[in-house]
Structure 1
Amino acid sequence: HMLLNVARGAPLVLLSEGKFDPEVFWNLVEKHRVSNLFTVPTIVKMLVEHESVDRYDHSSLRYMIYAGAPMYRADQKLALEKLGMVMVQYYGMGEVTGCIAYQPREMHAVDDEDPNANIGSCGIPRTGMEVAIFDEDMNRLNPGEVGEICCRGQAVCTGYYNNSEATAEAFRGGWFHSGDLAVMHPDGYIELRDRGKDIIISGGENISSIEVEQVIYRHPAVQEVAVIGIPHEKWGESPKAFVTLKQDQELTGEELIEFCRDNLSHFKCPTSVEFIELPKTSTG
């Protein structure tokens, strides 16, 4: 991707190594009149929550592409409010040259009631990519039914180098298996539900960690959250929330669980909460 830009004569602005600084970032956007950005939701959140976003001119931005993880709706709305209609979502992975589906600028909206808001969607299949939702037995599912996102097309790799076993598993039935669970709506939009391995099974019920995280994230004291399944003597598994609070905010685990019970089916609510600073990689 970098070389394509160079071939077309488009300058690249690269941040130097070290701690990520939103003010340095916005200063560079203003100085170099940056028009296109590619980043991850955690970095977008840091950029639009930092006060420097209002002190630098970023009107040159045409596209801010975000990928790599689901973006919480509250973060998406703030980004749209601060930056305007420049947000573009990619959904994919390395095996498909980065993109299975995309959600262009016009498929975003600040207002939850706007039909273009497409809350929870990861967009529509990219050009040249055939996407379908299958169950475990490779039966193609109807719109609205939860199954695995599978795809095929010229952008999909042919397999894993020197690993025929992994290739056979990932390309069962002639389709590449993403490992992600989703539903496809009648209009072709794909709504991501969870990673297959991240589904929490409690008392025979499937719980989406993303759904629980989205609810917890709406609490005004919560900065970040991650939900996982932990062993439970009675139910097999139960949700546990790891939470980072906003600066100068206080919240108990009991209060957060009660908040969840007001906004979720009770069986989906965390049974325990741990307040920590969530670890991150250098890219967020």
Structure 2
Amino acid sequence: MKGMISMERIGDFAFEVEMSRQLLLGEMLARNARKCPDVEGVIFKDRRITYRELDERVNRLANGLLRAGIRMGDSIGLIMENRREMLEIFFAAAKVGAVNVPVNTRLSPREMAYILNNADAKLLLFSGRFSETIARIKCELPSVGAYVLVDGQVGGTFQGYENFLATGLPIRPDVRLQDDQVVFIIYTAGTTGKPKGAMLTHKNLIVNAMAIMQETSLSLPRRAELPFLVQKVMSITPFFHIAGVLGIVKNMVTLTPMVIMEFDPLELLKMIERERVTFLFLVPAMWHMVMDHPDFKKYDVSSLRTAAYGADRIQNDTKKRILEAFPNAALYEAFGQTEMTANTVLMKHQDALRKDGSVGRPLFNVEFRVVDDEMNDVSVGEVGEIVYRGPGLFKGYYKNPKETEKAFEGGWFHSGDLVRQDSEGFIYVVDREKDMIISGGENIYSAEIEALLVTHPKIKEAAIIGVPDPKWGEAVKAFVVLEPGREATAEEIVQFCLENLARFKRPKFVEFLPCLPRSATGKILKRELRIRQPHLCPPRA
């Protein structure tokens, strides 16, 4: 009969309505493709991909995953550098209810195998750069049933990515999802123990992305009179890191094109000029590498409107240098951790210089306290651990109920960050709880000594750890990187500390290094410094 709608079609409508209510990563991409099909969403090397093309490829890949036997809740391992295929895999897995497990590409083969096995990965997608590594550990991965190579020569038991993608139809898979389902397991670095897999949901990611949008909208521009530019983000933060994942989601929420690349100072400068990039996030060490490049002044960086940083301490001198090098860019600092879906605290441009040493104020959707060991709130200005609650809070550690229970002790997530809060509500990170040194009953904060050491004219970088001391329990050891062409003695460094710090805080040992070990995101790897001399520096729990 004319005008009648079949029961099957009514069911389709109900499915569409229910999916639209959920905060789902796949639905967010599909919505962008429907609303702005011809808008460029991704730029990678010589490829420019619209939202319609991206969603179509993601749908094909998602249906290919279903054909390969991937089901809701199954884990998918990814080992590759930043590239468009990684983005496609993230969203395809999200559309079928699978769980993305991006693996840190700087890990050893043994460490990679541990994560893939711990996560129960059913499928592994990787780039040619890691073919030898995968061939080496393949026999150690009993749960992995199929291997897909995203580039390079396909052979043996490795399938080709484009062929795998071509097995699926370009329509949305008929999988009903809830936004509190896990979509990522991001492994956090271990100290003495193994890495822990933090389980993050669709809702975690989208809610936090929206919170950051709200907070950054309140950050004043550097120069209000500048002409309007279409926003364009350079995505350099590794996609295996929560900051890289959240950046992708934020860009999807805001319909902001992403320029995907790996970090290379010269190529970065070329890309800023060519693509008129407006937003760039780098860790402080990377900002220095870009500004120190001999060809820096040859490139037009006037399009940059936001210079963002995080993952390591940054001094006002560095902030001022960024402002001078990028004359139209406002400053922006992000602080947080994987378990809170990356960001908990944000520093707006108008406060960046006047609040030297602070990481900003907590996001509006983050509930927090600064507490002592008994979970009592400490007074303003006093040091305590910052604990959190909120919609960005992860579900727990995968297959690790003991650590999950420990993390949520007292009904709050324990960050392990020791902070103080000033009268305006700004947070100052004093140290990681695990990095605090106790010597003769005195609490010594490594960050305080490190902040002093980098003010020495001969010192470029410094890291502080605690080492066993038969008399005092622990003593302070400094690892120092000197400025190029400079020389210094251990005695000189110790004397500098004695002139500026209490005697019990001075380093008892000083070791000079050519560089400090860092993670892919620029964080100093103190666990590597501790294992340099295991008889002196037992790893911390």
Q: TM-score, normalised by structure 1?
A: 0.90
2:332 pairs with 88, 94, 100, which one? 88
Instruction: Determine the C-alpha separation between the residues in 1 that align with 2:248 and 2:425.
Output: 31
The one-letter code sitting in structure 2 at the alignment partner of 1:168 is E
Where do 1:129-208 residues align within 5 Å? 129-208=366-445
- Please state if 1:12 is matched with 2:244: no
- Please state if 1:234 is matched with 2:471: yes
Instruction: Determine the C-alpha separation between the residues in 1 that align with 2:321 and 2:401.
Output: 45
Instruction: Determine the C-alpha separation between the residues in 1 that align with 2:414 and 2:256.
Output: 35
The answer for unaligned runs of 5 or more in structure 1 is 110-116
Cα deviation, residue 73, structure 1: 4.1
Instruction: Determine the C-alpha separation between the residues in 1 that align with 2:371 and 2:348.
Output: 25
Q: Which moved more, 1:43-52 or 1:207-216?
A: 43-52
- Please state if 1:281 is matched with 2:527: no
Cα deviation, residue 146, structure 1: 0.8
The answer (yes or no) to whether the contact 1:133–1:150 under 8 Å persists in 2 is yes
Cα deviation, residue 70, structure 1: 2.2
SS at match of 2:258: coil
- Please state if 1:49 is matched with 2:287: no
The one-letter code sitting in structure 2 at the alignment partner of 1:32 is E
Cα deviation, residue 210, structure 1: 0.6
The one-letter code sitting in structure 1 at the alignment partner of 2:371 is F
Instruction: Determine the C-alpha separation between the residues in 2 that align with 1:158 and 1:21.
Output: 35
CA deviations over 1:11-60 (Å, ceiling 9, x no partner): 322224xxx43222112111111111122222122223334333322121
CA deviations over 1:183-217 (Å, ceiling 9, x no partner): 11121111110000101111111111111011110
The one-letter code sitting in structure 2 at the alignment partner of 1:80 is L
Instruction: Determine the C-alpha separation between the residues in 2 that align with 1:37 and 1:6.
Output: 16
The answer (yes or no) to whether the contact 2:438–2:473 under 8 Å persists in 1 is yes
- Please state if 1:217 is matched with 2:454: yes
Sequence identity, in percent?
Answer: 41
Instruction: Determine the C-alpha separation between the residues in 2 that align with 1:32 and 1:273.
Output: 46
Cα distance, 1:147–1:251 mapped onto 2, change above 3 Å: same
The one-letter code sitting in structure 2 at the alignment partner of 1:86 is A
Instruction: Determine the C-alpha separation between the residues in 1 that align with 2:446 and 2:319.
Output: 19
The answer for unaligned runs of 5 or more in structure 2 is 1-246, 523-541
- Please state if 1:270 is matched with 2:507: yes
CA deviations over 1:201-241 (Å, ceiling 9, x no partner): 11111111111011110111111111111112222111111
SS at match of 2:268: helix
Q: Which moved more, 1:46-55 or 1:252-261?
A: 46-55
CA deviations over 1:99-152 (Å, ceiling 9, x no partner): 11100111122xxxxxxx211111101121111101111111121111101111
The answer (yes or no) to whether the contact 1:132–1:149 under 8 Å persists in 2 is yes
Instruction: Determine the C-alpha separation between the residues in 2 that align with 1:7 and 1:231.
Output: 49
Q: Which moved more, 1:129-138 or 1:71-80?
A: 71-80
Match of 1:101 in 2: 345
The answer (yes or no) to whether the contact 1:43–1:283 under 8 Å persists in 2 is no
Cα deviation, residue 4, structure 1: 4.7
The answer (yes or no) to whether the contact 2:315–2:356 under 8 Å persists in 1 is no
Cα deviation, residue 251, structure 1: 1.0
The one-letter code sitting in structure 1 at the alignment partner of 2:369 is A
RMSD: 1.8
Instruction: Determine the C-alpha separation between the residues in 2 that align with 1:264 and 1:81.
Output: 32
Instruction: Determine the C-alpha separation between the residues in 2 that align with 1:282 and 1:165.
Output: 28
The answer (yes or no) to whether the contact 2:311–2:521 under 8 Å persists in 1 is no
Cα distance, 1:200–1:7 mapped onto 2, change above 3 Å: closer
Instruction: Determine the C-alpha separation between the residues in 2 that align with 1:119 and 1:56.
Output: 30
- Please state if 1:35 is matched with 2:278: yes
Match of 1:71 in 2: 314
Instruction: Determine the C-alpha separation between the residues in 1 that align with 2:376 and 2:437.
Output: 23
The answer (yes or no) to whether the contact 1:226–1:242 under 8 Å persists in 2 is yes
Cα distance, 1:154–1:3 mapped onto 2, change above 3 Å: closer
The answer (yes or no) to whether the contact 1:22–1:52 under 8 Å persists in 2 is no
The one-letter code sitting in structure 2 at the alignment partner of 1:120 is G
CA deviations over 1:230-266 (Å, ceiling 9, x no partner): 1122221111111111111111111111111122222
The one-letter code sitting in structure 1 at the alignment partner of 2:396 is G
Cα deviation, residue 9, structure 1: 4.5
SS at match of 1:259: helix
Structure with higher Rg: it is 2
Cα distance, 1:67–1:274 mapped onto 2, change above 3 Å: same
SS at match of 2:461: strand
Cα distance, 1:76–1:267 mapped onto 2, change above 3 Å: farther
1:23 pairs with 266, 280, 304, which one? 266
The answer (yes or no) to whether the contact 1:74–1:218 under 8 Å persists in 2 is no
Greater helix proportion: 2
